[in-house]
Amino acid sequence: MHDMIQIRCRCCELPQRVRDQPGEPAKICSACLEHCGADEVSVRRRAESHLEMALERLEAARRAADDVYRDRDRYKEKVHAAYGGREIAIRKLRALAENHEQMGKGVCSCRTRGRASMAILDQSWVRSMIQRLASAFHGGGVPQT
Ligand SMILES: [Zn+2]
Ligand SMILES: [Zn+2]
């Protein structure tokens, strides 16, 4: 039992997997072994099967590219849904923080004591969340559209 190795076929010039063999590694893929020869029939068969092989590769590459694009779109949607909600939340919280910047304990710049917004912003977890979200947004952590 031999392992498979990857070679660039000398005949079709495509990367191909061939059976590893003792001594010299194979230089021609198994598909091309069937059409080697200088006679007219072999030359024609070679051209036809090379075209088929190239089309197959092209189709496989196109499918792979489609998959990648689909995944990327799905990924992007998810990320945007997740970050979109956070972005709104952080915008509201930051606006709140800017409008009511703390000047002293329990007193904000608009000099009202005990406002609901101050009570919210006074909580350390809210402050740290604002910081964390702000650095996530401005630290390049969010994929750009
Ligand atoms: Zn080949
Ligand atoms: Zn060939």
Nearest to 103 by CA among 120, 122, 85: 122
Residue 104, classed as helix, strand or coil, is strand
Tell how far the Cα of 95 is from the centroid of ligand 1, in angstroms.
Answer: 65
Q: How many domains does one find in the chain?
A: 1
Tell how far the Cα of 14 is from the centroid of ligand 1, in angstroms.
Answer: 6
DSSP state letter for 23:
S
Question: What span, in angstroms and rounded, lies between the C-alpha atoms of 141 and 145?
Answer: 13
Instruction: Tell me the one-letter amino acid at 38.
Output: A
Do 27 and 18 touch, CB atoms closer than 8 A? no
**Residues 79-96 pLDDT 10s:** 666 666 666 766 766 666
Q: For residue 90, what are the domain limits?
A: 35-136
42 part of a folded domain: yes
**Residues 119-142 pLDDT 10s:** 556 666 666 766 776 666 555 444
20 part of a folded domain: no
108 part of a folded domain: yes
14 part of a folded domain: no
